[in-house]
Amino acid sequence: MTAEHDQALPVGTRLGDYRLDALIGHGGFGITYRAFDTQLAKFVAIKEYMPVEFATRRADGQVAPRGSRFADDFTWGRERFLDEARALARFRHVHIVPVLRYFEANGTAYTVMEFEDGPSVAQLLRQPGRRLQPDEIRRLAEGMLSGLGAVHAQGFLHRDIKPSNVIVRRDGVPILIDFGAARQAMGGRTRTLTSILTPQYAPIEQYAMDGKQGPWTDIYATAAVLHHTISGSAPPEAVSRVGTDPYRPLASTHADRFDPSLLSAIDRGLAFAPEQRPQSIAEWRILFGGSLPKVEDAPTQRMMIEPAPAGSPAPRLGGASRPATEETEVDPPATRRKGFARRRFPIVLLVLGAIAAWKYAPQIRERFFGMVETQATLPPPIPIATPKEPSQAAATPTPVQPPATTPAATKPPVVAPDTSPQKALVDQAQRAATEARAMFERAEEAARAARAMAGEARIVAARAARPDLENSERLTYDGGASYIGQVVDGKRQGLGVAELGNGERQAGDWSADLMNGLGTVRLADDTRYSGQWKDGKSTGLGLREKPGVERSEGNFVGGRLEGLAVRRTLAEPNGVQGGEFHSDLLDGPGVERIGERERYEGEFRGGQRNGYGQYTDAEGKVRAGRWAAGKLVESAP
């Protein structure tokens, strides 16, 4: 058993809503599992940050550095792993695996992705006697170019394209998986991680610590994968091409089976020198000429994949496969409603006819139509009582009352409204809870936007810290402070990093000698902020966190929460507050959760429950009440 298998979590482990049920991939940087989402009843893929060369799993399942000398590298790599997940979560493209969410647990980090049902290109190439046909390769090329074009347009690189990282779904659509940005970042920081590239598919610039990488890097790797599908083997390793190049162009070795423009474009993408390759996907696509299928046609084509084993899920167009034991809907809801309406129509006609002859037709008709309206909104039909047949009614005659004593109509008794203090308390608490839930939804929207902004800020900060930053200068100040970055007229202007004497570190956009735009800060106590800045203060959408203690996401002014936001306490018991904050405290309608079950929805003042609201305890019992300074002062069952 390999070290990676030794470090994997056991099958059956629960990670929140997910249950691990299989190990589907591993490498020097991480482990990938297939898991079942118990909330959505679907399979997903979960990738765990697990750099086995300088981290290990303890007996309690926690992941920790192998020693103190690896602690900084482990933490830094985990942040890059999360940065990559945040960036990929923005993509929604038919040829890129969708990232659903990411989270931290067990001392490490996880990325949750759609489980793409199908073999990898590597698996297809290993099948005995299996050779991809020209049309299949053309569709593979189109899908990879389309996906990479979308990635590059966002300033992102894949960095680890190889046959095992391209899944061909059962409907024939190629999907790019397992982006290597974080792994490559770790390779640039430490030499302890050896699995940062795959030699047969990596261009020469990925071997150098300071090699300049760009779209041409992914183009080389993509061309290497296509070369393998055509020739049956990968091209020579880049390091073996220094000096005398043993590479033999496909245009001369396989011209009898493939379009010349396709072969020529692949040869050009495999040029040894980066500057001799196409510099963008758009430039490379032109070289393919008419050899690629139309973009709109590619996803609907089917590759000749080996038949799925008996009992396996049917082909799908996206998302995760349901297990074979699950019930599946044959008809969509709209079809079911139409079928139900057709079945109900003759019954409705029959009942209407009976009602028309009934003595109390007006009252029953009003009742009946109300009942039909209710039926239309419910899935199962509601049985409608019909009057007895005349013969049945005659068999059980009822006494005839004198006309004078027979009332014309029976009026329902009038019930006086409940005006008790308890009812008033419940009503006010329910209104406050409804308003609090609406405010919490708005706060969660702000938190999602803040997380996205924080991801962008981390990317800007990483660029600011690059050692090859253009026009970079070093400035020093009293007290041991320093700045390395771009400077205009002696002032910090552009991208740069400042180190203060007290241990604080700021990185990102600078203007007029102050942080303005996007950036990050790490304080001496390890509190961190990533997001928008204005005049040297963290102001705007952002994320503030103290690892293992607290995380706040939303709107900030001068480093404090101000406006819609969500705050989470990470220590046990975990807690969440969401709503509108003032001076870092929840103030107004909001929601507070403690642990998994306890919940308060209502009014706050100064961060404490204050006013009317509803409280749900750990057993699910709901209590309406009024709070003051965090304490319950009046309640109703």
pLDDT digits (tens, 9 = 90+) for 312-358: 333 332 333 333 333 333 333 444 344 434 444 444 444 444 444 44
pLDDT for the residue numbered 379: 36
Return the CATH superfamily for domain 121-307.
Answer: Transferase(Phosphotransferase) domain 1 (1.10.510.10)
Tokens at 570, concatenated: 């990470």
Q: Measured between alpha carbons, how far is residue 555 from residues 447, 518, 542, 544, 574 in Å?
A: 8, 14, 6, 10, 22
What are the tens digits of pLDDT across the range 246-257? 999 999 999 888
Query: Is 364 or 45 the better-scoring residue by pLDDT?
Result: 45
Q: Which residues pair with 523 in a beta bridge?
A: none
| Pairwise CA distance, residues 239 & 353, whole Å | 89
| Pairwise CA distance, residues 408 & 327, whole Å | 55
What are the tens digits of pLDDT across the range 567-577? 999 887 789 99
Q: Which residues pair with 598 in a beta bridge?
A: 594
Domain spans in the chain, listed from the N-terminal domain onward? 1-115, 121-307, 344-380, 423-636
Query: Whole-model pTM?
Result: 0.48
| Pairwise CA distance, residues 69 & 290, whole Å | 55
| Pairwise CA distance, residues 553 & 530, whole Å | 10
- Which of 52, 32, 56 has the alpha carbon at shortest distance from 44? 32
Place of tokens 């100064």: 606
Query: Is 469 or 294 the better-scoring residue by pLDDT?
Result: 469
Architecture of domain 1-115 in this structure: 2-Layer Sandwich (3.30)
pLDDT for the residue numbered 305: 41
Architecture of domain 423-636 in this structure: Single Sheet (2.20)
What are the tens digits of pLDDT across the range 423-470? 899 999 999 999 999 999 889 888 888 888 888 888 888 888 888 888
| Pairwise CA distance, residues 346 & 334, whole Å | 20
Residue 492 near residue 498 (C-beta atoms within 8 A) = yes
Is 84 strand, coil or helix?
A: helix
- Which of 511, 513, 523, 517 has the alpha carbon at shortest distance from 539? 517
Residue 412: pLDDT band with limits 50, 70, 90? low
Q: Above 50 in pLDDT, residue 493? A: yes
| Pairwise CA distance, residues 289 & 261, whole Å | 6
| Pairwise CA distance, residues 368 & 362, whole Å | 10
What are the tens digits of pLDDT across the range 214-268? 899 999 999 999 999 999 999 999 888 988 899 999 999 998 889 999 999 999 9
Q: Above 80 in pLDDT, residue 212? A: yes
| Pairwise CA distance, residues 251 & 66, whole Å | 50
